[in-house]
Amino acid sequence: MMCNRVATPSPEKAKKVFQQTPPELLDLVKMDTFTAYYHTTAFTMPLLPFIGNDDPLHLTTAMWKFIPERATLEAYKPYDTSNARAEEIFDKRTYKDHILAKRGLLLLTGFYEGQEQPDKTSQPYYIYPKDGELLTLGCVYSDWYNKEEDRQVKTFSIITTAANELMAEIHNKKKRMPLIVPPEKRDRWLSKDLSRAELEHYFVPFPDGYLQAHKVSRNLYKRGIDSNTPEAQMAI
């Protein structure tokens, strides 16, 4: 598995995703409340800041575990749907009916990835944009109905691609990376009229030079320790 640990922005920083919104549309921008994390994992199925292409001016939240609309949480508990491989997304039953119609952006400050060491242990790295700005990842989502809570919830998978040079060095076993959608391509990614051919142009390793990384404490992996602290991102 890759890209299952992330850091999310404060509401103030998340708001920057709308910087390029035309002035006449700013009154239509909506922002739901959400929790900012220094470190959280897909295993806890957190609600994270998210924009779906059903309403690109609405910053809402989505649960980090893709569950199809008609499925139950119980049925999908055994499956890891935190990530979706770009190379399989048009054919895999879970995603093939969603990828053209339901794409979204996950808003982050950075993410964590482990580098396999010679002794088979994992050294975590924190990876983030060099300019310190918002990081947006391409996702596929569903509008899942949570029967237990009687409400609709967006659920998502982060799309992954082959790794660029930096990420191949860090994620050195399977050599993958999340699909990064840069600011100038966000609006088009959220468009409802993307064809499969155009969409596949996104499914390539993001060019080197945009991200930087540093080693962080292995306490990230320890149970019983609160890792949602600023120290999670500190270089060692």
Can you list the domains of the chain with their CATH numbers? 5-233 (3.90.1680.10)
pLDDT of residue 1: 60
Q: CA geometry: angle at 196 spanning 190 and 200, to 5°?
A: 80
pTM over 0.95: yes
Residue 26 burial class via C-beta count within 10 angstroms: exposed 0-12, middle 13-18, buried 19 and up: exposed
pLDDT at 3: 86
Rg (CA), the chain: 17
The candidate with the shortest Cα–Cα distance to 14, out of 60, 52, 53, is 60
- Would you place residue 70 in the very low, low, confident or very high pLDDT band (cuts 50, 70, 90)? confident
CA 36, 138, 181, 27 dihedral sign is: negative
pLDDT number for residue 36: 98
State mean pLDDT over 101-128.
97
